[in-house]
Structure 1
Amino acid sequence: MIPLTASNYAANVHNRSQETPDLDAIKRYEAKADSETILHKFGMVTAKGNMIGFGMFVMGAWDPVLKPGYAEVTINVDSKWQSHGIGSRMLDEIEILAERHGADSLQTSIKDTDERSLDWAKKRGFSITSQTFESQLSITEFDTSQFDASFKALNSAGIRFTSLAEYPQDEVSHNRFWNFWRELVSDIPGMADQPLPDNDRMNQLTQDVDKNGFILAVDGHQWIALSMIIKETDTTYYNSMTGVSRKYRGSGLAQAIKVKAIDYALQNGATYIRTHNDSKNAPMLSLNEKLGYRQKPGQFSLVKHFN
């Protein structure tokens, strides 16, 4: 087991299994960390430089935000090397780090189709806290005009659609946006007890993101719904969040603003949109299905608490 960084990766890892990260992934992890982040990454590497396992321990400033006392952990083992004690060895190291840094809980995620890893985690004290589904929409043949009547009705009611890009790109507008985002996120199933980044952190995380994809529904001067869609690759966009103010729910706004997000992705040459939803968020899962999203295997979130 060796510590892994972007600077020593090439010297130590000559081959890797698909379950372990490449150099670009290591760089992304390091880019997410700041001066307040506790980040440990290590690989299980054979004498020939084959990485057959990877572990990671994170506390402090991170994305998504961690609860106080919680550490985000990752344990991945090459399928051909499972049942050889490699995962347990990495968990032992992680628990040493947890004690050293004062963590009282470990959180992780496992694909809901990976019964072997799920069983392994449960036997080592982890328990399931939630389930999240990924859905994907092919938009190459998506016809937004089929929703023209819905938009006409909303426009007649005085509701218009815009984006954060249409507002001054200053602290006032950005704070207003993130305060509104926070209000809506707190109503999403599975998010009520989750810590959220402050406005400065959200501005930092999204400073290079096109604000035309931060779509808003407006009634007069009041923001009443939003949908955030972000470029991942040249062909894939990610719909990270959609929400509607309580007073305006049931009016078709959620569907309308998601269609606006789809239209934005189409205008930018995307062919697919991805999103995630908690299994308890039945209304949004139903809406996604109506729009043509196809559900993919999801993942379980798990936690292990120390006494």
Structure 2
Amino acid sequence: MTKFIIRRMRQPDDFAAVAQLLNWIWSEPTTAERLKAEEDQVPPGKLDYNEKGELMGWDRPQWVAEDEFGQVVAYAIAWRAPWTDPGTLIQTNVVHPESRGNGIGRALHDTLHQWAAEVKASRLISFLRETDDRSVAFAERHGYVKERHTFESVLDLASFDGGNLYDAINEAERAGIRFVTLADEPGEASERKLYELYKVTHPDIPGYAGDFPWFEEWKKWSIGQAGVRPEWIHIAKDGDRYIGVVTLQQNEQTQAMYHEYTGVLPEYRGRRIALALKMLGVQTARACGVPYLRTHNDSMNAPMLRINRDLIGFRAEPGNYKMVCEL
């Protein structure tokens, strides 16, 4: 029988081992340095409850499993932000492939669920790779059900030929739409206009839940993220009004770019403005020598899937299931 212990994660000592574990399940690799930088931006947890007794506030306890040789072989986190749905926790549980089947995942699961019960959470959410049949089956045996399916798509830029898709940019410009980047219009006034655009368009994403962050937190976790630059944020304008955006984020290890966000105001949809913004993003990525672009879309987001897969030609990749457990 495999010997192991479950303990709280030690920071920063465990970041390197945790990064290696997360790289088994994440589409793009991370590093200890990046995990630490993100952790440093989160203040100490502060949970409370609303008038209905539902869990509110924020926290992010983390645990690891250590084998008999002192090696970290598994990791779990339960977290919520101030804008997360009342009562909800989001969790991740990963065990090194060579250590699976020894009860480690179950022990981490039980530890996390015990903490969730202690803080009176009412709902746990986990995102699992659709190809990880073993983890999906484990989750279903423990009360999780599939709520949503997120598709993943990749565009190989070395072989990409946009052809007449770039015409969407000229069409939009002839209709009076102007394209700039945040680098062209720097400063807080522009950032706040962009924030309002995100805030209006974000609830239209299928499956979106919770409140929207306030300006400072939105900036920290969107345009202020590592790998996002002002010149990689393409904005569509009608006069002085921001009406559409595409934001790109680069992974320092793979040099690939991720479509961090795409949004167009409802009254401007159906004019191929989103396509124009996407193609501006492609131009930027190719100019930077990026090998590929990656994006995710909810399975019910038909308009964006049509642009990405049917028009531009993003290649379908295995996605994720959103698994939900009502406590």
TM-score (norm 1): 0.87
The one of 202, 206, 210 equivalent to 1:189 is 206
Can you give the 5+ residue segments of structure 1 that lack an aligned partner in the other structure? none
- Structure 1 runs (4+) deviating above 4 angstroms are 10-13, 15-26
Q: Which residue does the alignment assign to 2:121? A: 103
Give the alignment's Cα RMSD to 1 decimal.
Answer: 2.7
Deviates more, 1:83-92 or 1:16-25: 16-25
1:93 aligns with 2:111: yes
Deviates more, 1:244-253 or 1:125-134: 244-253
Deviations 1:198-228 (A, max 9, x none): 1110222333631222211122233222111
Deviation at 1:6, TM superposition (A): 2.8
Quote the Cα distance in structure 2 between the aligned partners of 1:158 and 1:42: 54
Deviations 1:72-126 (A, max 9, x none): 2121223344333222211211122112323221111111111111111111111
1:9 aligns with 2:14: yes
SS at match of 1:165: coil
The one of 200, 211, 216 equivalent to 1:200 is 216
Deviation at 1:25, TM superposition (A): 6.5
Deviation at 1:249, TM superposition (A): 1.7
1:78 aligns with 2:96: yes
Q: Which residue does the alignment assign to 2:179? A: 161
Quote the Cα distance in structure 2 between the aligned partners of 1:89 and 1:8: 22
Q: How does 1:216-227 map to 2 (within 5 A)?
A: 216-227=235-246
Q: Which residue does the alignment assign to 1:244? A: 264
Quote the Cα distance in structure 2 between the aligned partners of 1:107 and 1:230: 25
The one of 136, 140, 148 equivalent to 1:122 is 140
Quote the Cα distance in structure 1 between the aligned partners of 2:276 and 2:179: 9
SS at match of 2:300: coil
Q: Which residue does the alignment assign to 1:280? A: 300
The one of 69, 75, 78 equivalent to 1:48 is 69
Deviation at 1:5, TM superposition (A): 2.0
1:304 aligns with 2:325: yes
Quote the Cα distance in structure 1 between the aligned partners of 2:164 and 2:16: 55
Say how many residue pairs are matched. Answer: 300
Deviates more, 1:3-12 or 1:66-75: 3-12
1:228 aligns with 2:233: no
Deviates more, 1:274-283 or 1:4-13: 4-13
TM-score (norm 2): 0.82
Can you give the 5+ residue segments of structure 2 that lack an aligned partner in the other structure? 1-5, 46-57
1:180 aligns with 2:197: yes
Quote the Cα distance in structure 2 between the aligned partners of 1:201 and 1:223: 20
1:31 aligns with 2:50: no
In 2 relative to 1, CA 162–23 (structure 1 residues): closer, same or farther, beyond 3 Å? Answer: closer
Deviation at 1:32, TM superposition (A): 5.0
